[in-house]
Amino acid sequence: MKYLLFGLALFACANEPTAVADVAVTAQTPNEPMETRSFYDLRAQTIDGADFSFNSLKGKRVLIVNVASKCGYTPQYEELQKLHELYGGENFVILGFPANDFGFQEPGSESEIKSFCSQNYGVTFQMMSKVKTNRSRGHEVYQWLCNKSQNGVEDAKVSWNFNKFLIDGNGQWVAHYESRMDPLSTEITNFAAGK
């Protein structure tokens, strides 16, 4: 089994959107699906280990993105930071969730990830602690994002690093974009600007 998982990881690095996360966690017991609840009931930890209540996001438009330091899409940190500088503040927030789910491309500790983001991309938007993004076994934020039974709008699957989710100022799921979607695309900048 160990060699099978290693082989799948190597295959995933060479052939981008293979969901290693779904394969690598099959030995775990799946969590019971959560009941539908408000986006504002969710909680997570920041990259510094502080508790972060999503209740603090009421009235703000939110972009949630799963990030990784050793991915072909890692340069999107630069565009995410630019998006934050242009629109971030009282009305728009970016939450970056490091995840080691795809190609094992985020192996570092929280302090290593924070240092990497700061030194290489000058990241000042809110970074969170590392999570799993699997829709049935992942962090509660990703279970909410990926299950229509919980978000009330649509099922989604995180296909690789740098997938993007948009949540409006009322806590409603708006859209999911795969990795190739540029953070400075019209779709995302219009959302960030409240257009």
Query: What are the residue boundaries of the structural domains of the chain, listed by start?
Result: 36-193
Residues of the chain where predicted confidence (pLDDT) is lower than 50: 1-31
Full-model pTM: 0.82
Active-site choice (13, 71, 117, 146): 71
Query: pLDDT tens digits, residue range 8-29?
Result: 443 344 344 433 333 333 333 3
Contact 149, 44 (CB under 8 A): no
Crossing angle for the helix pair 186-193 and 76-87, to the nearest 10 degrees: 30
Beta bridge partners of 66: 97
CATH no., domain 36-193: 3.40.30.10
Active site residue 71: yes
Q: Residue 173 to residues 11, 38, 77, 166: CA-CA distances in angstroms? A: 33, 10, 23, 6
Beta bridge partners of 167: 62, 173
Residue 141's H or E segment, with its range, is helix 140-146
Query: pLDDT tens digits, residue range 40-50?
Result: 999 999 999 99
Residue 165's H or E segment, with its range, is strand 164-167
